[in-house]
Chain A
Amino acid sequence: MRVLVVEDDKETAEYICSSLTALSHTAELVLDGKAGFLTALDNDFDVIVVDRMLPGLDGLSLVKSIRSANVDTPIIFLSALGGLNDRVTGLEAGADDYLVKPFAFSELLARLTALARRPPTQAEQPILEVGDLKIDLLRHGASRNGQTIALQPREFRLLAYLMKNSDRVVTRTMLLEGVWDFHFDPNTNVVETHISRLRNKVDRPFETQLIHTVRGAGYSLHE
């Protein structure tokens, strides 16, 4: 991934960049909004990380400017503001995701990977396949090795989300937001329970496990 990081807090910025570089991604760091705008226009990034509060040009205006310059690179907001409407205003400005500080790097990485541009062919396919697991998004059907798996609608929604993000890590928060539209952290183990239910149907009857737990980060569906 080629990542542009627009962040004025040096410690956070260096933490993000060095962590990305350690995983052999390319990270370019820009410390203020105006430079961020120019860099975003001049280069082709897979994803842009923008801090909400920046000197020069604030994050919200920066994202609006990037969008009105017809650059559609996915953007994720990082913000120390966690106000009720901040996420909504951020998304309305044209960002694709929103992450509140303090965050774990694994959370940011998972979201960046989910956002980074994927090959266009894969995006709108109605049938998704990973190994011998196959789901039909139109008919809401799932099968493995030709054997039909009966899923409740809520289980299908969860599986579909994992399939769309196959080979990537999805975090608990991403599942809460993406599958159940919960923008808060429940106190009970909602995600763990639903994943375990899904595993009982999708993995347990079969030899190979497809839904993997990624320690300290989340889950990943892959062969």
Chain B
Amino acid sequence: MSKAKSPQALRTSTRLSLQFALLYAALSAIVFIGAYWFTYYEVKDWMLDQMLGDAETLITIYERDGAEALVQKVDALGQVSFEDTRVFQLLDHTGKALAGNILDPVLSDVPDFLSAETLGVSFAIFDEVEGYWMRTDAMGPYQLVQGSGDHIIGEVLEALGTALLVGYLCVVVLGLLVGVRVGRLTEQRITQISATLSRVSDGQLNARIASSGPIADDLSWVSAEINAMLDQVKRLLESQEQISNDIAHDMRTPLQRLRQRLETMRENRNLVPEDVEASLEQTDEIIATFNALLRIAQIEAVNKTERFEPTDLEEIIKDVADVFEPIAEDNGMRITTQIPAGPLKIIGDRELLTQLVVNLVENAISHCRLSTQIEMSVSATSATTVLSVSDNGPGIDPAIREQVLQRFFRAESSRNSPGNGLGLALVKAIADIHGAKIEILSNDPGTLFKVGFPTESAQKQDI
């Protein structure tokens, strides 16, 4: 495995931050353009409304107090002039400017908008005033022309722009800082994961990725998955190692005996058919042990969902009872079954489950004496379906109950009965890949094997 550091993590988070900043800039620009047009039309309407209001007031003055009052009022307004942002000009019926803060040029027939330059306004203190919205109203024989500076739009947009820019800078700076920080943390954790994997590939099978704290995120999820995978790999390797040890331990002896027999046959030179027969039998025994060991290893390594399907335990029990009744009878034993009504399906491999039941029954037959009763039963609760095989034979010493499931374990009391010591180990392997738990209890007298399978619905969620 490569031990190169992974700069990609930092790059990724920084890139994301930058992308976010760009996106925010684009969004701000769109907001700004939208705000510009909205403000432009709103402010313009407001100005025009204000001028209309002023015109109405002046018309009222003219009608109530006469022309002189109007002239005075327009002059007064022009002098106040709203800080030079408003222009007024009152024209008489000949088109002569009578009053206002602009007398020249004469503003007859003006368009809706006039630039400050055209108006020749030099007194405007606001540089921002680029032009005026204009309005003309008739007041008896007179005409009032007024204009309102457009600087307010500039002011409003300036304020808005400043706010957006400050917000934008804050977001970008914060985003980059957070991005870099998160990137650092992510990089540290990815480096840690990568370092752990390097250690594993260097042979330290116990190395695990440390937990990153209480917060569950994608990385801690990946770490947990990797840790689970490492556990599984370690378990499989240990199982393989155990198999090699078992082979060394329990296969060498019979092979040694076979070799001795063949050597003796070579030296004797005259072949006795019985010797050949015995050698073949010994070979078959070795093959059988070897096959059983391999089968356990294969079962332990199997992908449990492959070929698993709903399987009826009742059918299996009935079939096995049917096959083994005569064998039990010949050994002076009886087999009974107890099966409640209703389907007793679990998700599993029919062939393997059959072998599990067969091995439990054979175990009972080979360890019990005359007139033993062997009972097979199934019972189900919402969470588990329990398969039980019990006998009223001599029972298992509580001290060795856990050991009987180990490969090649044979109790002192059963050294002389047939079997290779692998039957119950196979039961355990099959139970394990079905997610089943084995309990070995006393049947007072005798032994009770309970195999608890998760029921079909519970198991489906698991798979």
Q: Which residues of A contact B (CB under 8 A)?
A: 82-85, 88, 100, 102, 153-154, 180-190, 193-194, 197, 216
Q: Mark B265-298, 1 if CB is under 8 A from A, else 0.
A: 0000000000001001000000110010011001
Inter-chain CA distance A100–B349, complex, in Å, is 20
7 new A-B contacts, CB < 8 A, other than A84-B298, A190-B323, are A102-B287, A154-B323, A184-B351, A185-B288, A188-B324, A193-B330, A194-B323
Are A187's CB and B302's CB within 8 A? no
| Interface secondary structure of B, over-half rule | helix
Please tell me the number of chain B residues within 8 Å of chain A, measured between CB atoms.
Answer: 33
17 A-B contact pairs sorted by A residue (CB < 8 Å): A82-B298, A84-B295, A85-B306, A88-B307, A153-B322, A180-B319, A180-B323, A182-B354, A184-B351, A184-B355, A185-B288, A186-B358, A188-B362, A188-B366, A190-B324, A194-B323, A197-B326
Which of A83, A188, A193 has the most B CB atoms < 10 Å from its CB? A188
Q: Tell me the smallest distance from the CB of A195 to a CB of chain B, in Å.
A: 10
Are B423's CB and A84's CB within 8 A? no
Known contacts A84-B298, A85-B306; is-contact A189 B287 (Cβ 8 Å):
no
* Total of A-B residue pairs, C-beta within 8 Å: 61
Q: Tell me the smallest distance from the CB of B69 to a CB of chain A, in Å.
A: 110
Contact of B419 among A183, A184, A187 (CB under 8 A): A187
Inter-chain CA distance A183–B420, complex, in Å, is 18
Are B294's CB and A82's CB within 8 A? yes
Q: Tell me the smallest distance from the CB of B186 to a CB of chain A, in Å.
A: 41
Are A187's CB and B298's CB within 8 A? no
Q: Which residues of B contact A (CB under 8 A)?
A: 277, 280, 287-288, 291, 294-295, 298-299, 302, 306-307, 319, 322-324, 326-327, 330, 349, 351-352, 354-355, 358-359, 362, 365-366, 418-420, 423
Q: Tell me the smallest distance from the CB of A189 to a CB of chain B, in Å.
A: 7
Residues in chain B near residue A100, CB distance under 8 A? 291
Q: Tell me the smallest distance from the CB of B294 to a CB of chain A, in Å.
A: 6
Q: Tell me the smallest distance from the CB of B273 to a CB of chain A, in Å.
A: 11
Inter-chain CA distance A200–B245, complex, in Å, is 46
| Interface secondary structure of A, over-half rule | loop
Q: Tell me the smallest distance from the CB of B416 to a CB of chain A, in Å.
A: 15
Give the residue name and chain of the A residue nearest to B363 (CB): A187
Inter-chain CA distance A182–B351, complex, in Å, is 7
Inter-chain CA distance A85–B354, complex, in Å, is 16
Known contacts A180-B323, A182-B354, A193-B330; is-contact A188 B365 (Cβ 8 Å):
yes
Residues in chain A near residue B330, CB distance under 8 A? 193
Residues in chain A near residue B352, CB distance under 8 A? 84
Inter-chain CA distance A183–B298, complex, in Å, is 15
Q: Tell me the smallest distance from the CB of B167 to a CB of chain A, in Å.
A: 63
Residues in chain B near residue A188, CB distance under 8 A? 324, 327, 362, 365-366
Are A187's CB and B423's CB within 8 A? yes
Residues in chain A near residue B294, CB distance under 8 A? 82
Q: Tell me the smallest distance from the CB of B408 to a CB of chain A, in Å.
A: 14
Residues in chain B near residue A102, CB distance under 8 A? 287
Residues in chain B near residue A189, CB distance under 8 A? 327
Contact of A154 among B288, B322, B354 (CB under 8 A): B322
Are B287's CB and A187's CB within 8 A? no
Question: Nearest 10 A-B pairs (CB), nearest first?
Answer: A193-B327, A193-B326, A84-B298, A184-B355, A188-B362, A187-B362, A154-B322, A188-B327, A197-B326, A180-B323
Inter-chain CA distance A82–B296, complex, in Å, is 12
Residues in chain A near residue B365, CB distance under 8 A? 188
Residues in chain B near residue A182, CB distance under 8 A? 323, 354-355, 358
Residues in chain A near residue B307, CB distance under 8 A? 85, 88
Q: Tell me the smallest distance from the CB of A120 to a CB of chain B, in Å.
A: 32
Inter-chain CA distance A28–B109, complex, in Å, is 117
Inter-chain CA distance A84–B351, complex, in Å, is 10
Give the residue name and chain of the B residue nearest to A157 (CB): B322
Inter-chain CA distance A185–B354, complex, in Å, is 12
Residues in chain B near residue A85, CB distance under 8 A? 306-307
Residues in chain B near residue A88, CB distance under 8 A? 307
Q: Tell me the smallest distance from the CB of B430 to a CB of chain A, in Å.
A: 11
Q: Tell me the smallest distance from the CB of A154 to a CB of chain B, in Å.
A: 5
Inter-chain CA distance A208–B324, complex, in Å, is 29
Contact of A184 among B295, B302, B420 (CB under 8 A): B295
Are B326's CB and A84's CB within 8 A? no
Are B355's CB and A187's CB within 8 A? no
Q: Tell me the smallest distance from the CB of A83 to a CB of chain B, in Å.
A: 6
Inter-chain CA distance A84–B295, complex, in Å, is 7
Inter-chain CA distance A125–B299, complex, in Å, is 41
